[in-house]
């Protein structure tokens, strides 16, 4: 019989407040992927940001010549950074957040649009090892991320969906995944 095909785990950080939901299993021969639909009004701005950033990373802020943004396809994945998995993961997540916050509040970030409530969205996500502070842990990745102003509601909805997907599909720390935009 062939080996594998299933992974059984009890990752405490997937359900920190519900011990019975920590136990789970997934098929381990599939690359997980969660899509955002650019046509869906509730997350349109975030989906548009990700699609545009992956398609033309040199046109994104911050500028870094020759940068590449992973995650658009199965063969070029992102890797989940589960902040609650340990102190080093929490430190890396905080570094991603601080790097993004610093850039978004700098004169290098284009001004917010005049109408509506806006948030600074980053891609790759702060919850990935490819996030904005990646260069602190791996050389030659300074600026290999994208920041854009998106509607606050879109950003919060897209983030909530990503968090639920991580838990529901049991995406473990450092597990590869991709985010196709439809």
Per-residue confidence band for 43, with pLDDT thresholds at 50, 70 and 90: very high
What are the extents of the domains in the chain? 6-177
Read off the pLDDT of each residue in 71-76 and give the average, rounded to a whole number.
95
Read off the pLDDT of each residue in 84-91 and give the average, rounded to a whole number.
96
Per-residue confidence band for 7, with pLDDT thresholds at 50, 70 and 90: low
The pLDDT score that the predictor gives to residue 168 is: 85
Per-residue confidence band for 22, with pLDDT thresholds at 50, 70 and 90: low
**Rg for the chain, CA atoms, rounded:** 17
In three-state form (DSSP H/G/I as H, E/B as E, the rest C), the secondary structure along the chain is: CCCCCEEEECCHHHCCCCHHHCCEEEECCCCCECCECCCCHHHHHHHHHHHHHHHCHHHCECCCCCCCCCCCECCECEEECCHHHCHHHHHHHHHHHHHHHHHHCCCCCCCCCCCCCEEEEEECCCCECCCCCHHHCCCCCCCCCEEEEEEHHHHHHHHHHHHHHHHHCCCCCCCEEECCEC
What confidence tens digit (pLDDT) does each residue in 53-67 have? Answer: 999 999 999 999 999
The pLDDT score that the predictor gives to residue 6 is: 61
pLDDT at 142 over 50: yes
Mean pLDDT of the chain: 90
């Amino acid at each position: 019989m062939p080996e594998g095909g299933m992974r059984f785990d009890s990752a405490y950080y997937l359900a920190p407040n519900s011990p019975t939901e920590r136990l789970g299993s997934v098929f381990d021969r599939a690359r997980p992927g969660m899509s955002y639909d650019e046509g869906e009004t509730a997350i349109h701005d975030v989906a548009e940001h990700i699609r545009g950033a992956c398609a033309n990373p040199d046109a994104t802020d911050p500028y870094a010549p020759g940068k590449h943004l992973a995650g658009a396809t199965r063969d070029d994945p992102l890797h989940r950074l589960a902040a609650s998995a340990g102190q080093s993961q929490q430190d890396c997540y905080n570094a991603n957040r601080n790097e993004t916050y610093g850039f978004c509040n700098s004169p290098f970030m284009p001004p917010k649009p005049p109408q509506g409530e806006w948030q600074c969205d980053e891609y790759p996500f702060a919850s990935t090892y490819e996030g904005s502070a990646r260069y602190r842990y791996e050389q030659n990745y300074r600026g290999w991320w994208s920041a854009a102003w998106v509607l606050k509601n879109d950003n919060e909805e897209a983030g909530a969906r990503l968090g639920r997907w991580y838990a529901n599909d049991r995406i473990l720390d450092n597990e590869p995944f991709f985010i196709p935009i439809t």
